[in-house]
Structure 1
Amino acid sequence: MISLFRSLHHVCVVVADLDQAVAYYESLGVGPWYDYPKGGPYETYEVPNPVASAAMRYKCADLDNVQLQLCQPPAGLDSPQRRFLEECGEGVYHLGFESPDLGAAEERARTLGVDVLARGRRADGSGFCYFDTRARAGVTLEIRRTQHDAG
């Protein structure tokens, strides 16, 4: 049986002002920060609002044990992250877990009765899948498979 949520990859915090948040974290010694690497094109891309998703701004910092992501959703475009910011304020939007097999992990989640909110897959098997877990887990859970360079 595949274990879905065992290898924490990142914590994603939604913020109102990405530059201001990065500056504050840097003042605390957290960093360095870099733009989220978008990777190659998706063969499958199912998100609530592709325009808002493409306009989302992310910065990442690799800590010793986990990646910290800051996400600023675009103003004026509906997205789950924008709704979270407006309803809850800034805070942890999702926890991202690494999985060696996204297809198997997504199928396992479905057998557990967990619905998919958004998903994307690349030709190399990398990608992501967000689950509808906020009401019962207190946070959105994501599984992902990191894109690895060949050779």
Structure 2
Amino acid sequence: MSTDVSGMIECRPLARIFGEDDEDAVWHAAIDLFLLNTGNAYDALACLFGVRNSYGFRPLSQDRGLPEGASNGLRAAFAAWGGPQDTHGTTWISWTELAAADWNETDSSGTRSRSTVAGPGTHWAPVWDVMRTLAELHGADNVRLVVWFD
């Protein structure tokens, strides 16, 4: 049985202006991963999220659940996939964390690096491009990727 990733990029546009604690600094759904054609290459899912990790990667983000303050758009998309009853591996990661990651780190065999399986030139590059652009506009801590698997 295959494992497919679903999810969304979110951002908090007003947090940079008013501060993260301001009542208007809420998360907004920015773009669905479906539109960015991430594919389901298992080595990428393993190194990023620990899903199907027979490769021995140290995942960047694993099983955090839905983030606090998730946008209505994200909650609706998650519910449409069946919510926690029909999904697994739900997690999230901020642009700050992604930008600080060691993209040269390898799997347990030492043959695959994060960059090779999920960096520039892979199906994940459009996701990173969108997140980078939003982070430049709204701040790195105000951009995150939320994913779940079925």
Taking structure 1 as the reference length, what is the TM-score of the superposition? 0.27
| TM-score, normalization by structure 2 | 0.27
Q: Which has the higher contact order (CA 8 A, sep 6+)?
A: 2
Q: Which has the higher helix share?
A: 2
